[in-house]
Structure 1
């Protein structure tokens, strides 16, 4: 089972690399303003998870610079469980005005990003 998962993960990563969506071109000032808005966002993810790839592709399509955090590392996994409440990826950590919200489910994350930054 491990070999099948590993192989499928490599296929997903390869196809994502080959068919990666293009980032939109924006003026530098506009991109800087957008980067300032996304500074409080971080995406907890696994590199080869298909749902995480779906979210990362949406982030790239919108040209957002959101920090990605590998949830396989023990410290990041502990943070996700202790602060977010469950070990589920993808998970978007949203920090605004000292308030932290954890958003799960790839479709909900993409909807949130499209509403906020489209």
Structure 2
């Protein structure tokens, strides 16, 4: 089962690379504002997870650069995800606001949030 999962993960990564979406073109000032807003976010993810690929593609479509944190291979990121979000489940978007830190699970919710915030 592990071998099948590994093979499927590599197929997903190759297809994601081949059919990578184009990003939005913005003025320099507008992109800087987006980058400043995105600096308050981090995406905890696994490289070959199909739901994580879905979120990364949405980030690329919106031309948003968010810190990607590998919760599978990096024990510190994995521990941070469990301590902050309460469970080791990916994708998880960590959003820092003035009210505190919000942990958002579910790829569809994350994509909808990104489209609302960065469209």
Q: TM-score, normalised by structure 1?
A: 0.97
Cα distance in 2 for residues equivalent to 1:61 and 1:88: 24
For structure 1, which runs of at least 5 residues remain unmatched after alignment? none
Q: Please state how far the C-alpha of 1:87 moved relative to its aligned partner.
A: 0.6
Alignment of 1:91-102 (within 5 A): 91-97=92-98, 99-102=100-103
Query: 4+ residue runs of structure 1 moved beyond 6 angstroms?
Result: none
Q: TM-score, normalised by structure 2?
A: 0.96
Alignment of 1:10-89 (within 5 A): 10-72=10-72, 73-89=74-90
For structure 2, which runs of at least 5 residues remain unmatched after alignment? none
| Count of aligned residue pairs for this structure pair | 118
Cα distance in 1 for residues equivalent to 2:84 and 2:34: 26
Q: Please state how far the C-alpha of 1:92 moved relative to its aligned partner.
A: 0.1
RMSD: 0.9
Cα distance in 2 for residues equivalent to 1:16 and 1:111: 20
Moved more, 43-52 or 25-34: 25-34
Cα distance in 1 for residues equivalent to 2:57 and 2:10: 16
Q: C-alpha offsets along residues 3-54 of structure 1, whole Å, 9 cap, x if unaligned?
A: 1011000000000000000111111111011101111010000000000000
